[in-house]
Structures are given as structure tokens and as C-alpha cells.
Chains A and B, each alone.
Chain A
């Protein structure tokens, strides 16, 4: 079992709010890689029928995220909301008829900086889009003892400890897919673990089949080889990133399902165990 510096991490309150759906393009059309316009919903809002564990590749939606999409409660809160509220932290509704209901922080969708929160179906069904959330955030600044060359992403350290095992001087993780660097697109050059997601490109149908991307689900765990996300999303031959799928596919060139880094390193210290059921939901249930 890994040991982290979690006892030295401050717990900081950050506040967010539900945001409405964001409509992109002319008439809400998404233009695909062949220049054809498709009409479909995109990001933001409350997803009543899409949650963690569902297939993320076959939804008729662009960059679709599960649960309720949020931003900081006001412009001043924005950066801290995105950075401090970590995957697995508890989120609580602070006012209105659903006051006190608890859910979980999930992923950032980088392009428009929204953060997904996951609540149970009964609570989600009652949301109306004016909800505000408090997260007693913890995780930004996590380090793994004995692995100074590993950068931890925006993840609750209690959840991290369940997901990562130390074995023979390496960190072992269960993953559903191993994706090489040439597949990585939207998000390249952005601020690594501090940003949000880094997208797997789904432009090439042969490569889509080769990596069996059609079976990816929200919350699936993947390993990105040759991909460095320590300070920036970039190519470094020896780098490895272990991450979680946080949003769905896109028809746009250079885009696809988004991966949010959990741990990463410029050195080959993270090793995969292939597991078709590797999904963050397995570890959340244990908590």
C-alpha cells in the first residue's frame, strides 16, 4: 500500500454552482471531421440519465459529461474550484430543498473548464440547476512517499491509496486500455495535472477499432504511454500517465474522450495491470 502526505494537506472549503448547457456553433451544430454539421447537445447542465460507469462513446452528445456540470460559485472562486476540488472529495448541496445531500467530485472538462459532480439518481432527478455546492477540498499537493519523480493529479488521497499499489519499486495500477502518445490530441500543451482533461483522438476509424475505444465508459481507467502531464500535456518518450475518462466522444477533428491524470511521471515507474473492468467506480464503492 502506498503512503501519502495526506496528513499534511490542508482541507480548504471551495464553492461551486450548477451551470446551464452551453450551446456551441451555428444552430448548435457540431462540425465533424468531414465538414458535415450534426445537431446534438454539448456540455453543461444536469445529465439526468448519464452517470459514472455508463458507456461514454455512443451518446448523441459532444464532449458530454456525466452528473451535474459546475463552475466556481463566482468569478473569484473559479480557479480554486477547478484546482482544489479533487476527484473523490465529498460535495454537499448547501441550500434549497436538496440542502445537505452529498455527492462526489468527478472530472474537469478542460476546454470550457466545467467540473462534474456525481450524485445518486434520486438527488439528481430533483435538481433544477440553481444548486450550489460546498467541497471541503483535499488533494492538491498530494505526494507519494518514496516516489519524488511522480506527480499526483487532482485526486482525493484516500481514493488514490486504494487505486495505486506499490510493487517492486514501481506503482501498479489497473487499467482498461493502454493508449500510445500518437493518439493524444485536444488539450496538448495545457497545464498538465492542473488543467483538466487530455483527449484521445477518435478521428481515425482503424485506430478506433485497434484500441477498441467504443467500449470506453465514464470512469474507466487508462494508461497513456509517452505522455507527460506533470507540468504540461506533452510528449516525452519515457513518460507515463495513469488517468480516468471524464467526458465522452466528439466528432470534431483532434477531439475525443477526455482523460484526467491521476498520477504521472516522466520516468517509467507506473506499470499497468490489464483489467476490462478497471473503473474508478469500483474504488469509490469501497470508500
Chain B
């Protein structure tokens, strides 16, 4: 098991509201200049969950499961999305489903959504008056033997379930896809006015504008929850391009028909030096790691 500073990390409750869909997505102009109509992000999504294919839902940035956001004021909103980490326990804090537990599965930047999974029985009881309490834990997480590798947005228990091996001073991480930096889009170099430590919340998108690239790289296999490797991606103090840098992230929202966007990736591990390697594994998905889905043989 990787040595960390987990004993020093405060676990702090943060709370969000379940967020109604807010983008009508009518007459959206696609990357080729043609308008279309589709659903967009937000809401309680009943039929696409973490572990499902994220390129299949017909819509813009469709989020799986339950979308939440802190609606009080900008400070609490950013704190909610920054403190929440992928894999943290989320609990329904109101209504008939009060007490039901699930997990944080992603952070969607810009809109500042924290996306959570709950089981179907719970989903059927939720309304937009309900709140979700996240036991946030993982901010400040450090790997004691790897000072050059930064952790962020990562629940310490999830870290230990990702099948990471240590070998010759490097971390070997199971991933489903490896993505070159030129195919990372919206969210790269994002607005600094939202936060000075950018990759500590939110995500950035895999570009699916070039369909030949999508085919050649098997992006149509991407699922919500897939662990992916981003090549030459330095996410230490923002999101940029440095040859040799490596970032490990999780896929958190679906595809798009607009340009420069696509499935979103929340950063979990990043390093300016080539100290992380990815090994392709089709089972590298947090739905399996968190016990939400069973691995199909």
C-alpha cells in the first residue's frame, strides 16, 4: 500500500443541493456549424450511471446519476466542489431517502457540479428539494515516497483500490486509454478567477471534434468512471503542456456535439516528470473499484 499523510487529513462535511437541468440546449451550433437540439447536463439521470458508456447518451455533457451544486453563494459553491473528492461518501440529507449512501464520481468544472452515484431505489425517491452531504476527504493528500507526484480530488480509500503498483521509483497505474495532450480541450488553462489552484476542482474535456481520432483511439469505448492517462499533461498548478509530464484522471461526464469539448476528466494524480506509467486494463473503472458494478468476465 502506498504511504500517505492520510492521518493528517481533516474529513469535513460539505453540502450541495440536487441541481435541476439548467441548459435548454436548443439550437446548439455544432462543430460543423449545423444546429441541433439535445439534452444537456444537470439533474437526476435515471438511465446512465457510472460504469456505463459515456459516448452513447445523446446530449451535451450528460452527467450520470445525480448532479449537485452548492447554491448558496460563490464562496461556498467553490468550496463544495473543491473539497469534494472522487470516491468520497455522499449521503442524501433530506426527504424520504435521507440516510441513503453513495459516492462522489466526478467534479464538473465551470458549472461547479459535484456528480454522485446512488442506487436506483434511492434515485426514484429523490426530488430537486433534496440535499446531499459529502464527507469530503483527500484535500492535501500526499504520497510520502513520491514528493514529485501530486494527488488531488482523490479519496484516500479509492487510491488504495486502483490497483497501483510501485516499480523502480514509478507508479504503474491501470488505465483504459492514453490520451495525447493535443486532444485535451475545454478546461485547459481555465479561468484563474475561479480558483488559483485550478485542477483541484473541476475537469477538462477530451476533444472529440476529429472523428478519425475518435475511431483510431477507441474513444467510443469510453465509460463514465474510466481511469485514463493524459500524456505530457502537467496539472500541478493549472492544466498545461509539458513534455514528459503525466496525469491520471477519471472520466466524469459525457460527449458533446460542439467543438473543443467531449468527455470530461477530473485529475487524480499528476507529475511534471515521467514517474507515472499506464498499463492498459479494460477494468480500470471506479464503478468496479467502489463496488458499484461487478466486473464482467
Given known contacts A231-B29, A234-B209, A252-B238, A188 and B243 CB-to-CB distance under 8 angstroms? no
B150: nearest chain-A partner, CB-CB: A35
Assembly CA distance A226 to B193 (angstroms): 29
B31 touches A253 (CB 8 A): no
The verdict on B241 contacting chain A, using a C-beta distance below 8 Å, is: yes
Q: How far is the CB of A231 from chain B (nearest CB, A)?
A: 5
Given known contacts A25-B196, A33-B234, A232-B31, A254 and B240 CB-to-CB distance under 8 angstroms? yes
B209 touches A35 (CB 8 A): no
B209 touches A232 (CB 8 A): yes
Assembly CA distance A266 to B34 (angstroms): 14
Given known contacts A232-B31, A237-B210, A254-B238, A190 and B260 CB-to-CB distance under 8 angstroms? yes
A254: nearest chain-B partner, CB-CB: B189
CB < 8 Å neighbour of A253 from B232, B236, B243? B236
CB < 8 Å neighbour of A234 from B180, B193, B197, B260? B260
A32: which B residues are within 8 A, CB to CB? 237
A280: which B residues are within 8 A, CB to CB? none
Interface size on A, residues (CB 8 A): 43
A189 touches B241 (CB 8 A): no
Assembly CA distance A204 to B236 (angstroms): 14
Assembly CA distance A129 to B237 (angstroms): 34
Contact with A along B263-295 (1 / 0, CB 8 A): 000000000000000000000000000000000
| Number of chain B interface residues as a range | 35 or more
A235 touches B207 (CB 8 A): yes
A207: nearest chain-B partner, CB-CB: B243
A201 touches B241 (CB 8 A): yes
A252: which B residues are within 8 A, CB to CB? 189, 192, 237-238, 240
Assembly CA distance A192 to B32 (angstroms): 12
Q: How far is the CB of A237 from chain B (nearest CB, A)?
A: 6
A26: nearest chain-B partner, CB-CB: B196
Assembly CA distance A237 to B185 (angstroms): 14
A199: which B residues are within 8 A, CB to CB? 189
B189 touches A255 (CB 8 A): yes
B190: which A residues are within 8 A, CB to CB? 186, 254
A181: which B residues are within 8 A, CB to CB? 182
Contact with A along B229-261 (1 / 0, CB 8 A): 000101111111111000000000000001111
Assembly CA distance A192 to B31 (angstroms): 10
A201 touches B186 (CB 8 A): no
A207: which B residues are within 8 A, CB to CB? 241, 243
A201: which B residues are within 8 A, CB to CB? 188-189, 240-241
Q: How far is the CB of B210 from chain A (nearest CB, A)?
A: 5
Contact with A along B91-135 (1 / 0, CB 8 A): 000000000000000000000000000000000000000000000
A204: which B residues are within 8 A, CB to CB? 241-243
Residue from the set A24, A203, A228 with the largest chain B CB neighbour count within 10 Å = A203
A234 touches B242 (CB 8 A): no
A34 touches B237 (CB 8 A): yes
B243: which A residues are within 8 A, CB to CB? 204, 206-207
A253 touches B239 (CB 8 A): yes
Q: How far is the CB of B230 from chain A (nearest CB, A)?
A: 13
A189 touches B186 (CB 8 A): yes
The verdict on B213 contacting chain A, using a C-beta distance below 8 Å, is: yes
A236 touches B185 (CB 8 A): no
B209 touches A253 (CB 8 A): no
A236 touches B193 (CB 8 A): no
A192: which B residues are within 8 A, CB to CB? 259
Within 8 A of B (CB), among A235-273: 235-237, 252-255, 266
The verdict on A100 contacting chain B, using a C-beta distance below 8 Å, is: no
The verdict on B157 contacting chain A, using a C-beta distance below 8 Å, is: no
B196 touches A31 (CB 8 A): yes
A231 touches B241 (CB 8 A): no
Contact with B along A10-34 (1 / 0, CB 8 A): 0000000000000011100001111
Assembly CA distance A33 to B238 (angstroms): 7
B182: nearest chain-A partner, CB-CB: A182
Assembly CA distance A141 to B175 (angstroms): 46
B209 touches A228 (CB 8 A): yes
A234 touches B259 (CB 8 A): yes
Identify 18 new A-B residue pairs, CB closer than 8 A, beyond the known A33-B234, A253-B237, A254-B240: A32-B237, A33-B236, A34-B236, A182-B180, A182-B232, A189-B261, A190-B260, A203-B242, A231-B29, A231-B30, A231-B32, A232-B258, A235-B207, A235-B210, A236-B210, A237-B212, A254-B238, A254-B239
Chain A residues proximal to chain B, CB less than 8 Å? 24-26, 31-35, 111-112, 180-190, 192, 199, 201, 203-204, 206-207, 226, 228, 230-237, 252-255, 266
A-B pairs, top 3 by smallest CB distance, nearest first, are: A254-B189, A189-B186, A232-B259
24 A–B contacts from the bound complex (CB under 8 Å): A33-B236, A35-B236, A112-B193, A182-B180, A182-B181, A182-B182, A182-B241, A188-B184, A189-B185, A189-B205, A189-B259, A189-B260, A201-B189, A203-B234, A203-B241, A203-B242, A204-B241, A231-B32, A231-B33, A232-B259, A235-B182, A235-B207, A236-B31, A254-B241
Chain B residues proximal to chain A, CB less than 8 Å? 29-33, 180-193, 196-198, 205, 207, 209-210, 212-213, 232, 234-243, 258-261
